[in-house]
Amino acid sequence: MGKIEKVSVALSSELLGIAKEAVASGAYASTSEVIREALREWNLRKPLREAEIERLRKAWQEGVESGKPRPLDFEEIKRRGRERLARAGK
């Protein structure tokens, strides 16, 4: 693990309660261990979050490039919905 440095972290009472509960359950030896595990998990998921943001950016851009939206025909939408309901009920 590298050099250990002591830092002070401000947590809401709810988050502190979660950390203390994890220690009380025996799952962790200390609240520091809980925080370290949370940071490791956060760091592992970081590339996934970045990939999801990129996917959303591309989808947004595709939508913009697809042209102006056509007007919605609410009566047609309701008619198709009713037809689907009728088919599902059979």
Residue ranges of alpha helices (H) inside 2-73 are 13-24, 31-65
Q: Is residue 21 part of a domain?
A: yes
Rounded to two decimals, the pTM is 0.63
Residue 78 lies in a domain: yes
Residue 31 lies in a domain: yes
- Residue 6: inside a domain, yes or no? no
Domain housing 30: 13-89
The answer to whether the CB of 48 falls within 8 A of the CB of 57 is no
* Res 1: pLDDT: 64
In a domain, 47, yes or no: yes
What is the structure's pLDDT at 59? 98
Q: Which of 35, 28, 46, 27 is nearest to 9 (CA)?
A: 35
- Total residues belonging to the chain: 90
Could you tell me the mean pLDDT of each successive run of 10 residues in the chain, 90 residues long?
Answer: 88 97 98 96 97 98 93 95 92
Number of domains in the chain: 1
